[in-house]
């Protein structure tokens, strides 16, 4: 099993706390595609003093090395002096650096507003798109006002601006969205309707995985060594593909009317009941389950941890490396959908453990067993035994809606 810091030219066993800040920063661009987590954590621990060498490394990373890791650390440091260096990567598509740079600027917040406003007024569509994604992360009146003004000015990216306003979650944007929908092309009108519906129903709780940079930007073999897409990454791909492809992507089997979108709570995925048992979905251990799959899925998650512990793996990060290795083997030799889903279940369980700040697998296994015992309490969830699906059955995965990319 690989060590995440054992990329080209690094010595994973060396104590990173003994290295100079400039040396740590210089290591980051050479670590692709593996995340140099220990170096990044150490740079963040050193705080603002780490920013100058990181900015210098990022400027030199254009065309030489992977700029993703310096971008991520600078975003987490939230330093205003990093704005020009981060802005160099807005609009670039390779390796997700465009999205990472936009999110880093959004994390910096109000200090980045003048720069982002200037980018949003420019001629480059890719940079404008990234700027709107960054503005969506800044919860200030000025950022909100700039996005609403852009609706009338930048109709080519109206769908992106609408989604940015949804992320801000302020219902006062509904009137501006409704006025802009009248002038939008047919394929884009559905995006405005969906945005209005989302603002009417209120915000959906953010995914805890997206709040931890060690998970959010972890590159996955099954995604071509990219990190999972958010709405901004999807928007960048859609707008890169041309107007005809955008229209085809927006075409669905049946278009929701605006009235239906606003009044029908079933249009929201999390509000839909299970078609098999009629119960609601919930996430006892990170995976979306209902009453007839919950106990079996938690047992399957515990079995995955048991497998790692039997192999001598005791921490989350080494187990995640094993998930990557398994995906590479499946890609190289071929594998069944069940094998891919088992890898996805293991990775989703590990991600969940990180979000609850449990990085030791033995403690994580104890937590899963406690959850499993609670699910067996007939006074609480207790599905009838005829509904229970054995944890080793592929049906467990199918009915739990496991997806190798987003674990939903």
pLDDT digits (tens, 9 = 90+) for 342-354: 999 999 999 999 9
Please give the pLDDT value at position 324.
95
In the chain, where are the structural domains located? 16-262, 294-399
Percentage, residues of the chain above pLDDT 70: 80
Average pLDDT over residues 133-140: 96
Give me the mean pLDDT over the 376-386 stretch: 47
Residue 407: the pLDDT is: 42
Check whether 271 has a pLDDT greater than 70.
Answer: no
Statement: residue 99 has pLDDT above 90: yes
More confident residue, 198 or 335: 198
CATH (one of 3.30.450.20, 3.40.640.10, 3.40.50.300, 1.25.10.10) for 16-262: 1.25.10.10
The residue-averaged pLDDT of 61-74 equals: 88
**pLDDT on residue 224:** 87
Q: Are 38 and 64 in contact (CB under 8 A)?
A: no
Average pLDDT over residues 366-380: 80
- pLDDT of amino acid 222: 86
Query: 242 burial class (0-12, 13-18, 19+ CB within 10 angstroms)?
Result: exposed
Please report the pLDDT score of residue 45 as a whole number: 96
pLDDT at 84: 96
Cα–Cα dist 104/84, whole Å: 12
Phi, psi of 220 (to 5 degrees): -115, 135
**What is the chain's mean pLDDT, rounded?**
83
CB-based contacts of 116: which residues, under 8 Å, 6+ apart?
105, 131, 134, 135, 138, 143, 146
Better pLDDT: 63 or 328: 328
pLDDT of residue 280: 83
Whether the predicted pLDDT of 177 surpasses 50: yes
- Does residue 406 have a pLDDT over 90? no
Number of other residues whose CB lies within 10 A of the CB of residue 201 = 15
How far is 32 from 52, CA to CA, in rounded Å? 22
Give the closest residue to 344 by CA, choosing from 371, 359, 326.
326
> Comparing 212 with 205, which gets the higher pLDDT?
212
Question: From CA 125, how far away is CA 207, in angstroms rounded?
Answer: 28
The DSSP annotation for 158-218 comes to: HHHHHHHHHHHT-GGGHHHHHHHHTTS-HHHHHHHHHHHHHHHH-PPPPPGGGG-HHHHT-
């Amino acid at each position: 099993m690989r060590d995440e810091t054992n990329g080209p030219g690094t010595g994973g066993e060396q104590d990173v706390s003994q290295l100079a800040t400039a040396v740590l920063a210089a290591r980051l661009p050479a670590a692709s595609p593996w995340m140099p987590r220990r170096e990044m954590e150490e740079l963040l621990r050193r705080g603002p003093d780490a920013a100058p060498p990181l900015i210098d490394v990022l400027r030199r990373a254009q065309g030489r090395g992977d700029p993703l890791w310096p971008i991520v650390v600078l975003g987490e440091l939230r330093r205003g002096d990093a704005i020009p260096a981060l802005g160099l990567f807005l609009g670039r598509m390779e390796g997700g650096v465009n999205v990472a740079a936009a999110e880093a600027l959004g994390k910096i917040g109000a200090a980045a507003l003048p720069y982002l406003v200037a980018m949003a007024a420019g001629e480059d569509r890719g940079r404008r798109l990234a700027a709107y994604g960054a503005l969506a992360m800044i919860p200030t009146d000025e950022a909100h006002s700039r996005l609403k003004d852009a609706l009338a000015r930048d109709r080519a990216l109206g769908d992106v601006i609408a989604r940015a306003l949804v992320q801000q979650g302020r219902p006062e944007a509904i009137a501006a969205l409704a006025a802009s929908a009248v002038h939008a092309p047919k394929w884009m009108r559905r995006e405005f309707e969906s945005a209005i519906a989302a603002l009417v129903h209120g915000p959906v709780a953010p995914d805890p995985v997206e709040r931890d940079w060690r998970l959010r930007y972890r590159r996955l073999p099954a995604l071509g060594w990219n990190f999972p897409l958010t709405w901004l990454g999807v928007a960048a791909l859609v707008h890169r593909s041309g107007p005809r492809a955008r229209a085809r992507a927006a075409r669905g089997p049946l278009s929701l009317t605006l009235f239906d979108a606003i009044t029908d709570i079933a249009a929201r995925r999390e509000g839909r009941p299970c078609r098999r048992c009629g119960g609601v979905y919930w996430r006892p251990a990170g995976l979306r389950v209902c009453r007839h799959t919950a106990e079996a899925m938690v047992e399957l998650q515990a079995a995955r941890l048991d497998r790692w512990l039997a192999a001598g793996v005791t921490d989350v990060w080494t187990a995640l490396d094993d998930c990557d290795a398994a995906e590479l083997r499946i890609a190289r030799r071929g594998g069944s959908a069940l094998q891919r889903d088992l890898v996805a279940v293991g990775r989703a369980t590990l991600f969940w453990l990180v979000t609850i700040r449990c990085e030791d697998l033995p403690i994580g296994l104890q937590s899963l067993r406690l959850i499993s015992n609670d699910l067996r309490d007939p006074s609480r969830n207790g599905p009838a035994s005829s509904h229970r699906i054995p944890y080793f059955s592929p049906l467990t995965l199918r009915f739990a809606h496991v997806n190798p990319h987003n674990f939903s």
